[in-house]
Chains A and B, each alone.
Chain A
């Protein structure tokens, strides 16, 4: 894993206690939002599992011996969800997608790539988009299939792409 540049808050013990003062809490949650998204972006991770998260360095600063409690993790994640950066995968709220870019942003990014590379009006497979050689330098390289589909659906709603199914393969056509 690449060395992650932790923000100063990560080494500030009160960061791991939910602040009762509302103004302070607002700033604290803002820092958490930022940290979680940056962390996932840096590690190209798209899902988060609550049980695992409690011991991941993200929520557990071992050198400081401070850990964000599960209740507080939920508060932070709920805050992310409200801003469209997170989506629960199950009703029990055990796993979730972390969108370090919102679906719209992903869609735009993919469309930008497609138009730059002359892929408009052609069909590419979804596998090509996430794992193809052409997209190796793009941020959406390695994007999870479900997230990709959701992003493309968002594009579809805007009328700039169409999802196509052929031979058990899935593809997309950009307009």
Chain B
């Protein structure tokens, strides 16, 4: 029974009608009754078609090529005639499993019963159709036709082809990428040896340009980054990472005015590390242990939740005071204006102003024009 397929009842080209019974044909899956009772049976030179009487659009078909042989079962008293159709194993027709009403059947034969008679004619016609084996010619024809075929199957095939092609190009692209990775490793080692060579030859070649080139090379990246491979995944990793970060960032932070947001740090560090990228989480964790390790830079979290790295030597109140001095000079400042004066980010400028406000140096004017800070005349002129 699992060898039947749904179909629309229309004939294929070169398919010919051999025999037709209008009604009363019941289908058995092996010895079991199926839902396919009371239908018409059509025999063509390629297929057996069963059509439901209830809905004329419901057709199932059985390819004659699957039929091994057929036999008659004698019609006893009060029993309608039966024809047993033996079929070949389903393994020989892979790929068609989804198209039929029954997916699996333990039987290798089906039965047709003919309530309204006609089984004898059907039997002889079917036998001769099987002997003629006309579907073999059809298969030959079909092969030449296949490429021209349109419709849903054709579209599906085209899509499949396309998918195959993209698969190919993607894997090719990744091949290139892994090649690039290998190359990059070579490049790093090459730059290292060049740097080494230049260092060695320092005495001989003392031109400015070479020195500059050397400094470029040396600032190119972290030559030996702390990774999870080298330092495990636990506390040690974060401690080592913290040391590396402090080492790397102390100067840039100093240049930036003693304070730098963690987002900037993240970008700079990862640029320096090149291939061994850091996750934001590892970065934060490493920054958290900085204070314990007494490193020259440490993590500071503002009330607003903004995280920055700053020089350990720097005092908060000095920062706040410097901001308030600027506010007094300019009479009033927004965080935007202060950021431009100091050359820091707006976020940091705002944090400075807020901490200055907290210390009572300045006071705020919150209007539609934005948040503006003034010298705290309330405290300075009234007392």
Residues on A close to B: CB < 8 A? 8-9, 12-14, 16-17, 19-21, 23-24, 27-28, 30-31, 65-66
Contact = CB atoms under 8 A, between A and B. Distances in A.
B231 interface: no
B372 interface: yes
A27 B377 CA distance: 10
A27 B363 CA distance: 11
B365 A14 contact: yes
B363 A24 contact: yes
A19 B363 contact: yes
Given A17-B364, A23-B379, 4 more contacts: A9-B378, A13-B367, A14-B374, A27-B382
Contacts of B332: 13
B364 A12 contact: no
B367 A12 contact: no
A8 B374 contact: no
Contacts of B377: 8-9, 12, 14
Contact of B365 (A13, A23, A30): A13
Contacts, number: 54
Contact of B382 (A16, A19, A30): A30
Interface string B355-378: 001101001111100001010111
B128 interface: no
Contacts of A12: 374, 377
A71 to B, nearest CB: 12
The A interface, classified by DSSP as helix, strand, loop or mixed, is: helix
Classify chain B's interface size.
Answer: 10 to 19
Given A13-B365, A13-B367, A66-B365, A21 B357 contact: yes
Interface of B: 332, 357-358, 360, 363-367, 372, 374, 376-379, 381-383
24 contacts: A8-B377, A12-B377, A13-B365, A13-B372, A14-B364, A14-B374, A16-B365, A17-B363, A17-B364, A17-B366, A19-B378, A21-B358, A21-B360, A21-B363, A23-B379, A24-B360, A24-B363, A24-B376, A27-B379, A28-B363, A31-B378, A31-B382, A65-B367, A66-B367
The B interface, classified by DSSP as helix, strand, loop or mixed, is: mixed
Contacts of B379: 23-24, 27
B355 to A, nearest CB: 11
A20 B366 CA distance: 11
Contact of B363 (A14, A30, A65, A66): A14
Contacts of A31: 378, 382
Contacts of B357: 20-21, 24
A31 B383 CA distance: 12
B378 A24 contact: yes
B159 to A, nearest CB: 63
A12 B374 CA distance: 9
Nearest to A69: B366
A25 B363 CA distance: 9
A13 B374 contact: yes
A34 to B, nearest CB: 10
Contact of B360 (A8, A9, A14, A23): A23
Given A13-B372, A27-B383, A20 B378 contact: no
A66 B367 CA distance: 7
Contacts of A23: 360, 379
A31 B382 CA distance: 9
A15 to B, nearest CB: 8
Contacts of A9: 377-378
A67 to B, nearest CB: 9
Contact of A8 (B358, B366, B372, B381): B381
Contacts of B365: 13-14, 16-17, 66
A73 to B, nearest CB: 15
A16 to B, nearest CB: 7
Contacts of B366: 17
Nearest to A18: B366
B378 A17 contact: no
Nearest to B373: A14
Nearest to A30: B382
